[in-house]
Structure 1
Amino acid sequence: MNYAELTGYIAMTLLVISFIPKQVTSIRIINLVACIFFVIYGILLGVLWPVIISNGLVGLVQLYHLLRRTKKLSE
């Protein structure tokens, strides 16, 4: 098993695990990490733009909501 394949399996596992918690914050954090791994996976496989772009955008959405939630909690 090479690094690209291992990265893909880690990303897939984190994606599935992200749907288990009931707390939205936990879901978003785990999903964000999965998206990061999928972006790395897309790069390692020779720049697969659909994988990189889709997971990059989903990761940005998750990050936006996490930062927004953090800002609301600090007010």
Structure 2
Amino acid sequence: MTQTAPPRTFADLEPAGLEMAVTCQKCGHWAVIDDKAPKLRNQRIAGRRYRCAQCGAIGLPSLGTRRLAKRLAER
């Protein structure tokens, strides 16, 4: 049984079928990170800080499957 390595950079998310969403602790704003953006492609996922675009509070990242995020976006 072989295990795949966990994604280390944003470029590793798409081949793994994952995407990252960030939820604001303060206002509840929710956003999906665009892992295809050239600025982020080679950036490491671990150790990053996320800030809410609306209120500036700390954002909590979570990994999920791409189809889950599409269903949530349709709501």
Aligning the two structures, in what range does the TM-score lie when normalised by the shorter sequence?
under 0.3
Q: TM-score, normalised by structure 1?
A: 0.23
The TM-score normalised by the length of structure 2 is 0.23
Larger % of strand: which? 2
Structure with higher helix content: 1
